[in-house]
Amino acid sequence: MPGGPLRDRRPEGGERLSRATAHRLSLYLRALAAWPADGGKVSSGRIAAACGVTDAQVRRDLASLGHLGRRGIGYDAPELAAAIRAVLGIDRTWRAVLVGVGNLARALLRYRGFRTQGFEVLALFDADPAKVGERVEGLAIEPTDRLAERVRELGAELAILTVPAEAAQPVADALGAAGIRGVLNFAPVLLKLPPRVKLVSVDLAIQLEQLAFLIQHGEPAADPAAR
């Protein structure tokens, strides 16, 4: 399969990382990319300040990656970034398809960070015949009846789902049957998929509801690492 076989990357000691820890590691990686450390070294305190977590939390999280830092000296920034990318599984290219080429999808396709982080969208699909053949960001929109065939042909492992709510479950079922291993769902619906297909849902309305709740009840700003 293009990009190599899926490897089970685990931190030092073989423990499986929690979703909360993985989320914090993604934040640390963003911080490392945002500023070059003097002399290639970076302290846990600097990472903590950038990410809004405690110094102790950073040290605990990074200790799970192995013996990367030295007290009083810090971490080698390139080595640390490489270790985080390896444990998150983004030290390789992930092949993806996108289904539902509306306004949200077009905005996502313009985001260059996907490719930078190792995610490559290889094909676009839509059920609207009027859109088929249109080129968006260099890719021609294909009909959804070719979805299964093309997923297998491309060796795609991930799918981005930006279809209307009523179409989401049938499309997700088709993606799972075609061999997709993970779905990033932007449709405002709760999907049911077999355990082998991993699902991450992004419901923008729910995020706004949570923001409204925090403001309404005067809660302190949420710790980004606790999401």
Is 212 a member of any domain? no
Quote the pLDDT of residue 221. 55
**Does the pLDDT of residue 6 top 90, yes or no?**
no
Is 127 a member of any domain? yes
Q: Are residues 54 and 117 in the same domain?
A: no
**Does the pLDDT of residue 69 top 80, yes or no?**
no
Q: Residue 193 belongs to what domain range?
A: 94-206
Is 221 a member of any domain? no
Q: Are residues 101 and 20 in the same domain?
A: no
Is 114 a member of any domain? yes
At 164, give phi and psi (nearest 5°). Answer: -60, 155
Q: Are residues 76 and 39 in the same domain?
A: yes
Cβ atoms of 199 and 193 closer than 8 Å: yes
Q: Are residues 81 and 43 in the same domain?
A: yes
Structure confidence by residue, pLDDT tens digits, 147-196: 999 999 999 999 999 999 999 999 999 999 999 999 999 999 999 999 99
Quote the pLDDT of residue 17. 85
Is 217 a member of any domain? no
Quote the pLDDT of residue 7. 38
CATH of the domain at 123: 3.40.50.720
**Residue range 215-222: mean pLDDT, rounded:** 71
- This prediction's pTM: 0.80
Confidence of residue 85 (pLDDT cuts 50, 70, 90): very high
Q: Are residues 19 and 101 in the same domain?
A: no
Confidence of residue 113 (pLDDT cuts 50, 70, 90): confident
**Does the pLDDT of residue 78 top 80, yes or no?**
yes
Cβ atoms of 100 and 126 closer than 8 Å: yes
**Residue range 82-109: mean pLDDT, rounded:** 95
The pair of structure tokens assigned to 52 is: 């809004």
How many domains, in total, are found in the chain? 2
Is 193 a member of any domain? yes
Average pLDDT, the chain: 88
Q: Which residues contact 91 (CB under 8 A, 6 or more apart)?
A: 82, 85, 118
Quote the pLDDT of residue 115. 87
Q: How far is the C-alpha of 49 from the C-alpha of 16, rounded, in Å?
A: 26
DSSP string, 129-184: TTTTT-EETTEEEEEGGGHHHHHHHHT--EEEE---HHHHHHHHHHHHHHT--EEE
Cβ atoms of 122 and 182 closer than 8 Å: no
Q: Are residues 83 and 98 in the same domain?
A: no
Is 1 a member of any domain? no
Share of the chain above pLDDT 70, in %: 86
